[in-house]
Chain A
Amino acid sequence: MNILRVIAASCRMQVAETRRVPAQMLILATSPLFAAMFLSVMKRNGDPTVLTNAVFAPALISLWFMSLDLGGGMISNERWQATLEGLIGSPSRLGAVVFGRIIAVVGLAALTFVESYVMARLVFRMDVRIVHPLVFVLTLVVTLFAMAGTATALAGLFVLSRNVLLFQNSMTYPFYILGGVLVPVSLLPFWAQPVTRVFFLSWSSDLVRASMRTDAPGWAWQLAVVAVLGAAGLVGGLVLIERVVRRVTATGSAAMA
């Protein structure tokens, strides 16, 4: 049970830090602007079938952006404030601390879903009807878990890489496409579709859309796929972070360079 205690404590620590430095959650200020942009285009276009994309794409984009941003900086920040050695020298696993902190940020970033919804309903007066609330809520919860798992993997990957910024910059827009965030994966060329399916966000996007349609066949197994892909990311992340710890203890430095 100690690992759950460490995850919870790390989560609380991250929330406490974010309260002191609200700029860490700047995404909550920019996400409504993205939502307004998407909704304006949709309203001008007049096609109601893209309503779901217009409402929730900004939230998914914000979540992915936060994961990249966090993943790139999480372990480096610990190193910068000289807490990394203390964490490594403690009886707990660094991976549990990183995952706990990421859960907190992803959880806070999930408020962008609420912002997008409020923007659509109150500002654009659109009828956003969630036909299957259970599917929607479960999708949100499992997607947040998968996002946290993937961000944990990115945290390990980025600290082992020589060029974090290059990674971060190249993993934004292409992944919005691969994740089916901007347009459904089914509209992509057939050869690209298998690639998208190893990325959990493509399943999450489909599920969000399905929750707003009258028919939502096969949602349970699609949720399971998101959970499995998220868990794979988490396990991969914990393995990578363990490698970081081994590197630090072997070389005295976490950096590859």
Chain B
Amino acid sequence: MTDLAVEVRGLRRVYQARRGAPEARTALDGIDLDVVPGQIHGLLGPNGAGKTTLVKILSTVLLPTEGTARVLGYDVVEHRQDVRTRIGTVFGSERGLYARVSVRRNLLFWASLYGLSGRVGRHRTEQLIERVGLAERADDRVEELSKGMVQRVHLARGLIGDPRMVFLDEPTTGLDPVAALDFRALLGELLAEGRTFLLTTHDLDEAAALCAEVTVIDRGTLLMTSNVRDVGRRLAAPDRVDFDAEDNMVLEKLRGSGLVNGVSELDKPGRYRAEATSKESLTSVIRLLADEGITSLSTSPPTLEEVYLQLVGDRGMAV
């Protein structure tokens, strides 16, 4: 047994050639991943990176081609029934529920599938309906709900078996900003109950706001796993200096100094950003600006988005 919530070693998944897809496709190519219990671990990557394939394998609905994966200490192939009784999966889609029947009927049905007896199932259903804030709409058909509400039903469905490990597959895709914020707040509350979450997303703000650690994957390969703050440091990107300048001469001096990769104007007029070529040159850049009489300046590490874009290169968010 291991203390890790998820332990993945050398995981490969190859989709064999079929009609319509004449060539075999490697979705995961030797992934290693550790998820520490009691936190939200983000899985970042563009569409087609292999995030959903990994979640499918961890939630036992897809077999790996090679390698091993353990969830809460149980092998997803050898002990899939043990895994299934301990996990919940939340899909980021309006589908995946019985749209024509009520929220309550959906949850009661899934409660039975997770082995909850009638009374326990009813109690758990009512508890979750209350928890996700749908008490007023519990008897409405799922198809009558807004996207944000449907996503709450998905979350309730994922929690029906009281799982210690929850997989969230792009749960806020398509939600408006308010609904997404509500959903994230709800996740924060659930995290306090000691559950572990693996969140796949390509929303960098979401990952930065929710996750303790993030793993970046692309084309089936793990690029890095790190603390959200460490991601910036690990990449060792040149630090940035934001400053106010009214004189173009200062900008010319900076560009000609060899200390910066570039100087760009920010949204606010007269506000600029210089990217130092190295940590060492950052001090020289600040000194140069101070010598020119500029005192309104600040430094900042690269954002997660900048790190992410550098890691996945030009593909960015593209498919």
Please state if A91 and B84 are interface contacts (CB–CB under 8 Å). Answer: yes
Please state if B100 and A253 are interface contacts (CB–CB under 8 Å). Answer: no
Interface assignment of B271: CB less than 8 Å from any CB of chain A: no
A170 to B30, CA, bound (A): 48
Partner-A contacts on B (CB < 8 A): 15-16, 18-19, 56, 59-63, 81, 84-85, 87, 89, 91, 93, 95-102, 105, 108-115, 117-118, 141, 157, 161
Whether A89 contacts B98 in the complex (CB less than 8 A), given A5-B112, A5-B117, comes out as: no
Whether A86 contacts B115 in the complex (CB less than 8 A), given A13-B105, A17-B101, comes out as: no
Q: Range of interface residues on chain A?
A: 20 to 34
Please state if A251 and B101 are interface contacts (CB–CB under 8 Å). Answer: no
Q: How far is the CB of A89 from chain B (nearest CB, A)?
A: 5
Other 19 A-B pairs with CB < 8 A, given A13-B105, A86-B91: A2-B115, A6-B113, A9-B113, A10-B109, A10-B112, A12-B105, A12-B108, A12-B109, A13-B101, A21-B100, A82-B93, A83-B97, A83-B98, A85-B91, A86-B110, A89-B89, A91-B85, A91-B161, A92-B115
Whether A91 contacts B113 in the complex (CB less than 8 A), given A82-B95, A86-B157, A248-B61, comes out as: yes
Residues of chain A contacted by B84 (CB below 8 angstroms): 89-91
Residues of chain A contacted by B93 (CB below 8 angstroms): 82
Q: List 11 A-B contacts (CB under 8 A).
A: A2-B115, A9-B108, A9-B112, A13-B101, A16-B102, A81-B98, A82-B96, A85-B91, A86-B89, A91-B113, A251-B16
A87 to B109, CA, bound (A): 11
Please state if B61 and A85 are interface contacts (CB–CB under 8 Å). Answer: yes
Interface assignment of A187: CB less than 8 Å from any CB of chain B: no
Residues of chain A contacted by B108 (CB below 8 angstroms): 9, 12
Residues of chain A contacted by B101 (CB below 8 angstroms): 13, 16-17, 20
Residues of chain B contacted by A6 (CB below 8 angstroms): 112-113
Whether A20 contacts B141 in the complex (CB less than 8 A), given A87-B113, A91-B85, comes out as: yes
Please state if A82 and B91 are interface contacts (CB–CB under 8 Å). Answer: yes
Q: With CB as the reference atom, state the residue of chain B lying closest to A86.
A: B96
Q: How far is the CB of A256 from chain B (nearest CB, A)?
A: 10
Interface assignment of A194: CB less than 8 Å from any CB of chain B: no
Please state if A249 and B60 are interface contacts (CB–CB under 8 Å). Answer: yes
Please state if A252 and B15 are interface contacts (CB–CB under 8 Å). Answer: yes
Give the tally of cross-chain contacts (CB within 8 A). Answer: 94
Residues of chain B contacted by A123 (CB below 8 angstroms): none
Residue among A5, A83, A89 with most chain B CB within 10 A: A89
Please state if A16 and B60 are interface contacts (CB–CB under 8 Å). Answer: no
A248 to B15, CA, bound (A): 12
Interface assignment of A140: CB less than 8 Å from any CB of chain B: no
A88 to B101, CA, bound (A): 20
Q: How far is the CB of A86 from chain B (nearest CB, A)?
A: 6
Residue among B56, B84, B101, B113 with most chain A CB within 10 A: B113
Which residues in chain A, 130-183, are within 8 Å of chain B measured between CB atoms?
Answer: none
Q: How far is the CB of B118 from chain A (nearest CB, A)?
A: 8
Residues of chain B contacted by A13 (CB below 8 angstroms): 98, 101, 105, 109
Residues of chain A contacted by B114 (CB below 8 angstroms): 90-92
Q: With CB as the reference atom, state the residue of chain A lying closest to B16.
A: A251
Interface assignment of A257: CB less than 8 Å from any CB of chain B: yes
Q: How far is the CB of B95 from chain A (nearest CB, A)?
A: 4
Q: How far is the CB of B129 from chain A (nearest CB, A)?
A: 16
Q: Which of A8, A16, A81, A91 contacts B95 (CB 8 A)?
A: A81
Q: With CB as the reference atom, state the residue of chain A lying closest to B77.
A: A249
Q: With CB as the reference atom, state the residue of chain A lying closest to B105.
A: A16
